[in-house]
Homo-oligomer: A and B are copies of this chain.
Amino acid sequence: MSEEKIAVIGGTGDLGFGLAVRWSLAGAQIFIGSRDEKKAQDAAERVKETANAGGSSRTQDLRVSGCENSQAAAQASIVVMAVPFPAQAAILKSIRGSLKDAILVDTTVPLAGTIGGKPTRILGVWQGSAAEQARELTPPGTPVVSAFHNASAEVLQDLSITPDCDILVCGDDEPAKKTLFSLVKLIPGLRPIDAGPLEMARIVESMTALLISVNRRYKVHHSGIRLTGLPAEARSG
């Protein structure tokens, strides 16, 4: 069982919910965060229901609770930002006082679709990427890692499907990245890949728009990415 305490800020949304379901099944303790405590608590119940319906034998072990965002962040060693881009900055400001020794994991993609534009386009972010904006809004001692942009929220929520996707991890803090690697590996089918420093999130974030374009062209819902040509230790995840 994983001993990690993970806050999923925006855990009521599709990606956050899917991650919460998968990590709770792996034994991690999950704090679903929402601006609205009641919504967070409802989502926590639904996470348990979804995980149980997925045929887990660990029903009793699931440790999922819901709280207001800053309360969720305060209890966690890993804080995952899984909110729409237009909400990212305000929510980060609201929780940054509650980040203690946590790692901040940013999953935000600045899709033009989040402000009414095309879902296959990316907004320009002055800092270079949503992840670098997150770093700017996070206390200096808090490591920021960027990941999970290209994971299908739909697949994560559907326990009848095993994901088939690499998770490209960007960040400047190597121990924090290692911790994140172990979190990725808690979810069968996902493989963590070290994509380099946080600034590479500019590229990884944009790849979500590319996958949306491919989904539309091929009339599928969850295209993903696998890297080839890596050494065996990366291949085995």
Contacts and interface: CB of A to CB of B under 8 A. Distances in A.
A224 interface: yes
A93 B5 CA distance: 59
A46 B225 CA distance: 35
B228 A228 contact: no
A223 B204 CA distance: 15
B200 A213 contact: yes
B226 A226 contact: yes
Number of copies: 2
A115 interface: no
Interface in A98-133: 120-122
Contacts of A220: 229-231
Contact of A194 (B194, B203, B217, B228): B217
A187 to B, nearest CB: 15
A207 B203 contact: yes
A218 B227 CA distance: 12
Given A222-B229, A226-B226, A227-B225, A210 B234 contact: no
Contacts of A202: 206
A224 B218 contact: no
Interface residues of A toward B: which range? 35 or more
Contact of A196 (B200, B214, B229): B214
A226 B225 contact: yes
Contacts of A152: 229
Contacts of A224: 227-229
Contacts of A178: none
A45 to B, nearest CB: 30
A224 B227 CA distance: 5
A221 B168 CA distance: 18
Interface centre among A194, A197, A202, A228 (most CB of B within 10 A): A228
A229 B122 CA distance: 22
A214 B231 contact: no
The 9 closest A-B pairs by CB, nearest first: A196-B213, A224-B228, A223-B229, A164-B228, A203-B210, A203-B206, A226-B226, A194-B217, A222-B229
Given A196-B213, A226-B228, 8 more contacts: A202-B206, A214-B227, A214-B230, A220-B231, A223-B229, A223-B230, A224-B227, A225-B225
